[in-house]
Every structure is written in structure tokens, then in C-alpha cells.
Structure 1
Amino acid sequence: MPVTFRAAVLRELNRPLAIETVEAPPLAAGQVLVKLAYSGVCHSQVMEARGGRGVDRYLPHMLGHEGSGVVVETGAGVTKVKTGDRVILGWIKGKGADAQGIRYKSGDGFINAGAVTTFNEYAVVAENRVTLLPQGLPMDVAVLFGCALPVGAGIVINIAKPAPGSTLAVFGLGGIGLSALMACKLFDCRQLIAVDVEPAKLAMARELGATATIDASQQDPVAAIRELTGGLGVDYAIESAGLVRVIEQAFDATRRFGGLCVFASHPRSGEKIALDPFELICGKRILGTWGGDANPDRDVDLLAGLFRAGKLPLASMFSRRYALDEINIALDDLEQRRSVRPLIEIDATLG
């Protein structure tokens, strides 16, 4: 029987997403049909919907890249999951077929989709974008394992690997930044500095163990970090605010002779960062990362173990839950910094 369901569709940039009824195509080899329980909302979707990524050649299309749900059906050759499995959906590639080119039927044609979408009641997903839900991990919290957590924690665990006594600053306290901050607490850092412009997020950072917080709307964060570090700057700066000037600030706040600035944010299409080349030859390093160098098949179980041990208080990120019909409110709240990580409840009865 054809599977018809509701989905949020982007038909035009800078216009609200439309809730439409669409029909899933028959599964091709390497594809999985998932009934969604929850979806997260990332700044990437705000960028897509509001034209921040430039010309969109795939309109109309569906959105969302972190979620959780239950497998309904599998296509030929799928061995990673089976019908009835509870799974995490994410954009970072893991093991399995990289099945692409998904298109859904709609009343007036077709709706494009990538290898994973989550602003919808069902999704046809590539096998390599699903990971089995670890035991003891709630399905609402699990959405963070699709993007925010593996990226933010991955920057710290897989890339920075701070030595004991290190100094570290996190710029931007959204889902990725707070995930990075939590991961820093797994290491013996001497200073952990949080930078943002929202007092509520800075208060959350203090609760999560930041040794100092800086309101970048009230003071120069680079000057403040230098004062806190005896004029040197931090050993590691992590940037996830999505703004060119913040990437530049994070680099400027990194110490010479071995300091590392890592950024995972995606500023608007066409924008460029400007760095003083002399700082580079003085031994500063800057690095962009694709997903925190995360491997879902390796890292999800590791991070789930840390969550179960009480070392990752992830539920604190969800300041509000939304219905699928409220997806545009969720995007607005995220863009206006009224929410850390909106959680979309699609079918909470699944778990």
C-alpha cells in the first residue's frame, strides 16, 4: 500500500514551509522507510529556508537532518537495520548504502529530498544515514545524536583532545556549542570559557561547568579572553555561531605557537573570513570540520554511554517542544535565539 503522510515542504526561499500531504516512493535498493517520532531543528535548516545557502536548485524539497523513529520497511540489500528497529537519523554518513535521489509524489508533481529528511511523519532514508538506537537512550534525546552532539562533542573528543591543564573557549552556545562544552568537562581543562550574547545561554553554560562566561554583546570577547589567560589566549577555541566575525574572533582569541581554532559553523553563502597571515606563521592553526570527524557507528554508542552515566545532561537543551504544524514557529525561535534546540514531536507514542 502507498504510504501517504504530512511533511513540511520548502517551495520558495524566505517563505514559510508548507505542510503538505505527500506519498513515499517504493523503496529502492539501500533505502529504509522510517516512521518519525521526533526531529531536531538545526541552524542549517534556517539557512536553507531563509536563503542563506544561496541559489536552491532543488526546490521544492523537504528538510531536517536529525531525528529518531522506527523502521517500517527496508529495501533490497539493507542489512544494517530491520523492520521494527528503533533508530537515529542523521546527516553524517555511517556504514551502509549511500542511496540518493529520493523524490516524493505530491498533488502537483514531485518533492525532492536528500538522503535524509526529518520534518515529516515518514521518511525514505539511505541506509548509511540510520544508526540503531542504543539501549537506555530516550527517543527524544536521541535526535541530538543525529547532528548537534556528534558534531560538538566530536570536535573535542576526535579533534582537539585537550591535554590536562588546557584552556579552552567555546563561541556560540547553540546545540553544537553546548555539546562541545559538555564534552570539555570530560577532560581536565584548567579554564573553560563560554561566549555568547544571550544571558540565558551563558547561565546554562555556568550550570554545565564553564569556569567563566563572556557576553559578547557587552564586551570584546577577544580582550576578555586574553585577560583571563594572562595575555596569551586559549589553547583551543571552538566556534559554532555561524558568523564570519565570530570565526575571526575565535581565531584571534587562540594563542600563538600551537593554539588551535576549530569551527563547524556555516556562515551565509559568499561570505569570507579575514585572518592576519602573521598569526598563522606564529604557529596558530585554524581548522574547519565536517561533522566533528564523527563516525556514527562508532561514536553513537560511546556518547550514549556517557549520557547514561550522567556526564551529558542533554535534555537541558530542549527549551520548548513543537508540533509538526508549528515548524515555522520553531525556525523563527531558533533564528531569533529564543530556543537552543527546538524539538519537534511528530509521534511521541513511538517512545
Structure 2
Amino acid sequence: MSVTFRAAVLHELNQPLSIETVEAPALAAGQVLVKLAYSGVCHSQVMEARGGRGPDRYLPHMLGHEGSGVVVEIGEGVAKVRPGDRVILGWIKGAGADAQGIRYKGRNGYINAGAVTTFNEYAVVAENRVTPLPPGVPMDVAALFGCALPVGAGIVINIAKPPPGSTLAVFGLGGIGLSALMACKLFSCKQLIAVDVEPAKLEMARELGATAVIDASRSNPVEEIRALTGGLGVDFAIESAGLTRVIEQAFDATRRFGGLCVFASHPKSDEKIALDPFELICGKRILGTWGGDSRPGHDIELLAGLYRDGKLPLASMFTRRYALTEINAALDDLEHRRSVRPLIEIDPTLG
């Protein structure tokens, strides 16, 4: 099936994405053709477009890694979904074929894409990057199930698993940080501290159940957290701000003798974190996570159930919605902290 459609294409780092007409290739084994309804926008795309990951040998290419849509066609061997199924698209590998990356035909040659892209009206994706959408989850909210929610909530549910009476701090209140904050409310925590530099996000965190909020632009968050915890630091610190100094702060705010700092953010490619090794031998731990250790086939069902029960008020993250033609404004707003999780409305008529 030949499909021609609009897509946002990155031709040069630090330049706006271009909305162009591209043509999808015929499906190979293990691939799925999806018509997109919505896409989220993650800091990872800002990093890609702004050169934060270093030289890009795949230019020109398409972007986006969380979205929702409807299956149009399936390739040979695909068994997880059928045409007409509503699905979540995400970057975390699930069950199914790990099919080859895609190349689309553009106006001046081929345009690269990986196993999934979502800043486009249609996408050819690998079977293991789509998950059937559970009932009761709207298509716009479903976009968050592709990255923000499984990563943020996954850190809490799959890794931290805070026991009753725990103290936690969340550094960075974007989509991942707020998802982690919501998941923390599922546990009987003694203290839940939210750290950011944007007053609106801190107020949102308070409304979502944070017991204390800290504006890191006005005070030292490590000192504030130690004061709130009797000088000890928190049992668990979760970092998603994407800055090396914030990873360091989250580690410093973690208590000795068993405290755990988990970070999911990706600072610029040439930056390093600096830690005091004595803190490590005093029993502090630090851990990076790939996607919140999530298993899409299992975790999405779990998270959908929590959403249906009213325990994950995810729609609050969408502070602004954009058309696909406004993708550069969405990236700018996310980069400059004017939006929590931009939502791209590609074809809202799909549900």
C-alpha cells in the first residue's frame, strides 16, 4: 500500500524542522503502518534537533517517539495488532518483531527514520514499538503511554518500589517527573518533595499531592531537602531535568546507608557528572534507567487500569496543544519551559 503524507523533517542541526510530503515504503516483514492521531513531544527531540547528542550521521531524518493512532496495514508475520486497532507508539521495545529502520522517499532523496517516529501523519514502525491501546484511555492521553508515563511511573513502580513511610524527592517536573510524582502517590510515602524552577509546575505538583515544593532558582534544593528530612536526605531521589548539575543535586540530596538516586534524563553528549566517591562508600546508590525498566505489554495495562481508576490525572500535563505545522513552536516552548508536555494534534478525528 503506497501512502503519501506530511511529516516534520530535520535536515540540519539547530535549524527548524521542515513540513514536507513524503512517501512510505512497502511494508517489510515485522512492520506496521499506522495513521497517527496524536504525538507527544519529549526533551529527547529537543536534544536531537538542537545538536545536544553530538554530530548526527542520519540526517535528514524524522523524529518523535510517543504517540497514538490506528493500524492501517500490517506486514508479514505481524501478530500483535490488526488493521483497525487503536495503538500506542513508543520507543521502548515490547513484544514482536524488532524490524529494520525505515527510509521514506522525500522531495530530494531518502529520509531516514528509526523503528518509530511520530511527528508525521503516518508511520511505518516495527511491531515491537506498538502496543494495543487498552479500553478506557482516550487517544490524546494515550500518547503519554509511549514515553512519559512508562518512564516516570516505571522508575517508581519497577525500580524504587518505596516502602511505607519513605521519603522521596522528584527533580524536574516535565512529563517524566510529573508521571513519577503521580506514581509516588500510589505508595504510602511520608514525604513527597517536588523540585523545579517554574512556579506553575510547582503549583501543579502541589495539586498532585506533593507535601513540599522547592523552587531551585530561589534556594539550594539540597539544603532544603536536608532541612525537611532532619538532616538525613531522602530515601529516594528521582531526576528527570536533563542537566548534569541536577543529577548531582539529586544524588547529594539522597541519604547515606541505603538511599537511592535514579535518573532517566539525558544531558548533552559532552557533559559528565561529578560525584564524591566517599558518599558511595557510605552506602548511597545512583542508577540510570532505560525507560523506567518498563515492559510495554505488561506495564501499559497496569497504568491504564490506574488511569481508569482516577489515580493518574494525566490530562493535566497538556498545557497547550499544537498542529503538526506548529512543531517548531512546540519544540521551542518545551526547550524554554513554557510547556510541560506539548501535544501535537495530527488527526483528532481518530478518537
Same fold? TM cut 0.5: yes
What runs of 5+ residues in structure 1 fail to find an aligned partner? none
- Measured in 2, the distance between the counterparts of 1:106 and 1:119 equals 15
What is the letter of the counterpart of residue 234 of structure 2? V
- Measured in 1, the distance between the counterparts of 2:337 and 2:229 equals 29
- Measured in 1, the distance between the counterparts of 2:56 and 2:100 equals 18
- Partner deviation per Cα, 1:290-312 (whole Å, 9 max, x = no partner): 00000000000000000000000
Which 10-residue stretch deviates more, 280-289 or 97-106? 97-106
Aligned positions of 1:118-157 closer than 5 A: 118-157=118-157
SS in 1 for 2:306: helix
Match of 2:117 in 1: 117
- Partner deviation per Cα, 1:50-84 (whole Å, 9 max, x = no partner): 00000101000000000000000000000000000
What is the letter of the counterpart of residue 194 of structure 1? A
What is the letter of the counterpart of residue 142 of structure 1? A
Q: Do residues 106 (structure 1) and 115 (structure 2) align? A: no
Q: Do residues 304 (structure 1) and 304 (structure 2) align? A: yes
TM superposition score normalised by structure 1: 1.00
Aligned positions of 1:332-347 closer than 5 A: 332-347=332-347
- Measured in 2, the distance between the counterparts of 1:205 and 1:136 equals 25
What is the letter of the counterpart of residue 219 of structure 1? S
- Partner deviation per Cα, 1:250-308 (whole Å, 9 max, x = no partner): 00000000000000000000100000000000000000000000000000000000000
- Partner deviation per Cα, 1:142-192 (whole Å, 9 max, x = no partner): 000000000000000000000000000000000000000000000000000
Match of 1:215 in 2: 215
Match of 2:178 in 1: 178
Aligned positions of 1:5-44 closer than 5 A: 5-44=5-44
- Measured in 1, the distance between the counterparts of 2:319 and 2:107 equals 36
What is the letter of the counterpart of residue 289 of structure 2? T
Which runs of at least 4 in structure 1 moved beyond 6 Å after TM superposition? none
Tell me the CA shift for residue 101 of structure 1: 2.2
Match of 1:264 in 2: 264
SS in 2 for 1:234: coil
- Partner deviation per Cα, 1:316-342 (whole Å, 9 max, x = no partner): 000000000000000000000000000
Identity of aligned residues (%): 86
Q: Do residues 321 (structure 1) and 307 (structure 2) align? A: no
What is the letter of the counterpart of residue 230 of structure 2? G
SS in 1 for 2:333: helix
- Measured in 1, the distance between the counterparts of 2:196 and 2:107 equals 44
- Measured in 2, the distance between the counterparts of 1:29 and 1:218 equals 54
Tell me the CA shift for residue 200 of structure 1: 0.1
What is the letter of the counterpart of residue 148 of structure 2? A
- Measured in 1, the distance between the counterparts of 2:272 and 2:32 equals 38
What is the letter of the counterpart of residue 28 of structure 1? A
What runs of 5+ residues in structure 2 fail to find an aligned partner? none
What is the letter of the counterpart of residue 245 of structure 2? R
- Measured in 1, the distance between the counterparts of 2:30 and 2:147 equals 22
Match of 1:90 in 2: 90
- Measured in 1, the distance between the counterparts of 2:270 and 2:284 equals 25
What is the letter of the counterpart of residue 233 of structure 2? G
- Measured in 1, the distance between the counterparts of 2:348 and 2:60 equals 28
- Measured in 1, the distance between the counterparts of 2:115 and 2:101 equals 7
SS in 2 for 1:19: strand
Match of 1:69 in 2: 69
Note the aligned Cα RMSD (angstroms): 0.4
SS in 2 for 1:249: helix
- Measured in 1, the distance between the counterparts of 2:114 and 2:182 equals 30
What is the letter of the counterpart of residue 46 of structure 2? V
- Measured in 1, the distance between the counterparts of 2:165 and 2:157 equals 16
SS in 2 for 1:177: helix
What is the letter of the counterpart of residue 79 of structure 1? A
Aligned residue pair count: 351
What is the letter of the counterpart of residue 226 of structure 2? R
Aligned positions of 1:231-242 closer than 5 A: 231-242=231-242
- Measured in 1, the distance between the counterparts of 2:212 and 2:131 equals 36
- Measured in 1, the distance between the counterparts of 2:44 and 2:227 equals 34
- Partner deviation per Cα, 1:104-132 (whole Å, 9 max, x = no partner): 00111000000000000000000000000
SS in 1 for 2:128: helix
